[in-house]
Copies of this chain bind each other. A is one copy, B any other.
């Protein structure tokens, strides 16, 4: 059965408070829609752990830069609702722009230091927009657990820092990245890729898999691991490398010696399409 669709914040708050009885848990899955199997795995994880599950669908303008793809970001609410019907989601909160940012809106979250690096440096204001909308959603829909995908690794760390710093009583649950059979991480932005670009994009998982192999063979100099990733990306060729680095799992600072829990973070452009991916250095190659 299709989940019921709620578009006003007030109705959403009412629906959650009705669902929030003592001993019953509410799970929230924030998304920008254009749902793929990665999002659905989050809904499924929420369904398994919570008594009520709400998925939010909102293409959040404040997390896009002025030259980014807000206008053309894929939107298909009807299809999203069909997909969520299979996951027994209780309701979908899909507000319009003015419901979230009414005239005169001007309060923002200034995210913590972990937001300054990598995506924060490449996309100024991105995490400010992410944190602001996520905080608003947490207030509108007071849930016990919130589910995020590991593909947006830095985003998860930024949100964790916000939750800790602002004393939010919500538990952040992170689910593994879902990949296509060829290894490419699922992303709504994959829809932008031509066949030829998609082939080249496979250098992204190939790059971090290569670094993982090197590490398993005893290489623990992050500079060598990063060079290995760059080589594979440049050979593809990937059109632009924003970063391909080996970092500490929490601080996201570059490590001086690679450890099994170090994280490989990558952001590249294939044509005009920006793609990100990550993997734990000592993790199993999928």
**Which residues of A approach B to under 8 Å, CB–CB?**
9, 13, 104-113, 128, 131-132, 135-136, 139-140, 161-162, 165-169
Contact of A107 among B107, B110, B169 (CB under 8 A): B110
Q: Which residues of B contact A107 (CB under 8 A)?
A: 109-112, 131, 161-162, 165-166
Q: How far apart are the CA atoms of A139 and B166 in the complex, in Å?
A: 7
The answer to whether A108 and B106 have CB atoms under 8 Å apart is no
Q: Which residue on B lies nearest to A101, using beta carbons?
A: B165
Q: How far apart are the CA atoms of A49 and B88 in the complex, in Å?
A: 42
Nearest CB of chain B from residue A18's CB, rounded to whole Å: 12
Nearest CB of chain B from residue A105's CB, rounded to whole Å: 6
Q: 10 closest pairs, A vs B, by CB?
A: A107-B165, A106-B112, A139-B167, A108-B110, A107-B112, A106-B113, A140-B167, A110-B110, A136-B167, A107-B162
Q: How far apart are the CA atoms of A113 and B103 in the complex, in Å?
A: 12
Q: How far apart are the CA atoms of A136 and B165 in the complex, in Å?
A: 8
Q: Which residue on B lies nearest to A250, using beta carbons?
A: B104
Q: Which residues of B contact A13 (CB under 8 A)?
A: 169
Q: Which residue on B lies nearest to A132, using beta carbons?
A: B166
Q: Which residues of B contact A9 (CB under 8 A)?
A: 167
Q: Which residues of B contact A136 (CB under 8 A)?
A: 165-167
18 of the cross-chain contacts (CB-CB < 8 Å) are A13-B169, A105-B165, A106-B113, A106-B165, A107-B110, A107-B112, A107-B131, A107-B165, A107-B166, A108-B109, A109-B109, A109-B110, A110-B128, A136-B165, A139-B166, A139-B167, A139-B168, A139-B169
Nearest CB of chain B from residue A162's CB, rounded to whole Å: 5
Q: How far apart are the CA atoms of A132 and B136 in the complex, in Å?
A: 15
Q: Which residues of B contact A110 (CB under 8 A)?
A: 107-110, 128
Q: Which residues of B contact A112 (CB under 8 A)?
A: 104-107
Q: Which residues of B contact A140 (CB under 8 A)?
A: 167
The answer to whether A166 and B106 have CB atoms under 8 Å apart is no
Q: Which residues of B contact A132 (CB under 8 A)?
A: 166
Q: Which residues of B contact A106 (CB under 8 A)?
A: 112-113, 161, 165
Q: Which residues of B contact A165 (CB under 8 A)?
A: 105-107, 136
Nearest CB of chain B from residue A251's CB, rounded to whole Å: 9
Contact of A113 among B104, B109, B111, B169 (CB under 8 A): B104
Nearest CB of chain B from residue A95's CB, rounded to whole Å: 10
Q: Which residue on B lies nearest to A158, using beta carbons?
A: B107
Q: How far apart are the CA atoms of A142 and B62 in the complex, in Å?
A: 27
Q: Which residues of B contact A169 (CB under 8 A)?
A: 13, 139
Q: Which residue on B lies nearest to A12, using beta carbons?
A: B167
Q: Which residues of B contact A139 (CB under 8 A)?
A: 166-169
